[in-house]
Amino acid sequence: MPEEPAEATASSAPGVSYVMPVLNDASHVRQAVESILAQEVAGPIEVLIALGPSIDGTAELVADLAARDPRVRVLENEVGSTPAGLNIGIRAAQYPVVVRVDSHSVLSPRYTAIAVETLDRTGADNVGGVMAAHGETPFERAVALAYTTPVGLGGSSFHVGGSEGPAETVYLGVFRTAALHRVGLFDEEIKRGQDWELNRRIREQGGTVWFTPELSVTYRPRSSVERLARQMFSTGLWRGELARRFPASNGIRYFVPPAMVVGVVLGTLVGVAGIVQAIVGASPWLLLGFVVPAVYLAFLALATLVYARGADRATAWRFLLVLPCIHVSWGAGFILGYLSLAKNIARHTGR
């Protein structure tokens, strides 16, 4: 293991290493890197792009970014996964502060300065803030709206905001590099949710994960139903795996989507059986099964009326589509992950 960088102090204007895994994301990388290079920091910086095997022009794009600015370095990530890319970047980092950056994210100019000050003020090992989802098309705006409501992704503080203080986990994260080495870096077996698992180890070893609403990262949502469904299925899959591994660390909100999926599927099947009863002349009492999907549909309609009432019509209608896409994809993935199928599915699908 490389020698751990010295701890950051307020007076030394610590250097900062930005670590960003990238795979087939030519549409967003340039804006993410530009937001890094525009950070208002006093110390030196480096941008470490861990490039997975991409086929959409991402490799050429990041090579051009590196050629234009010596602070940008491209590192090969043969595995291609997010945790592998993060670990490659962290091992190569030469500064005492590591900022995790997603290729879909855009940092506000003072993001790093606020984070470093918060690390020094609180003594935390990791600080993070709000994932401020921002969409440009009606569908993206609907996804962004879903992210910021309790009925979308469960109402975590890094989605909807909250008071400053210790937290279970935070979005992305600004870490003391020494703390990352101390806990053993990211678990590369966990393809999604690896940030939650790492923060669990930080807290388990006596460190602090700190949330502050002063930090805000603009996040670009997925642009289609297919991409959103794939993202949510993968996220739910690995959340299910983590719920199985660490049963004592799970809130009830994680089990709501899978319970909904099971309830709607079983209710629909029972209702169909009721139709068969009616056809054969028996008492169709099993039609009561349709109550479950009917209640869920009513919930979707009510949620749209409440949370999308200020949105334009195109966004509101898509919100009505986005919510079940998130719930069903995430819930189905969670069930399979909880049944210990995450690794097998990831092996065959790359998720």
Q: What would the DSSP string read from start to end of 176-226?
A: EHHHHHHHTS--TT-SSSHHHHHHHHHHHTT--EEEEEEEEEEE---SSHH
pLDDT at 259 over 90: yes
Lowest pLDDT segment from 3-12, 16-25, 119-128, 325-334: 3-12
Ordered structural domains, the chain, with CATH: 10-221 (3.90.550.10), 249-349 (no CATH)
pLDDT (tens digit per residue) in 62-121: 999 999 999 999 999 999 899 999 999 999 999 999 999 998 888 999 999 999 999 999
Helix (H, G, I), strand (E, B) or coil at 1: coil
Q: Look-up: residue for tokens 């210990």? A: 340
- Nearest CA-CA partner of 335 in 267, 248, 252, 233: 233
72 alpha carbon, distance to own chain's centre: 24
- What is the mean predicted confidence (pLDDT) over 326-337? 95
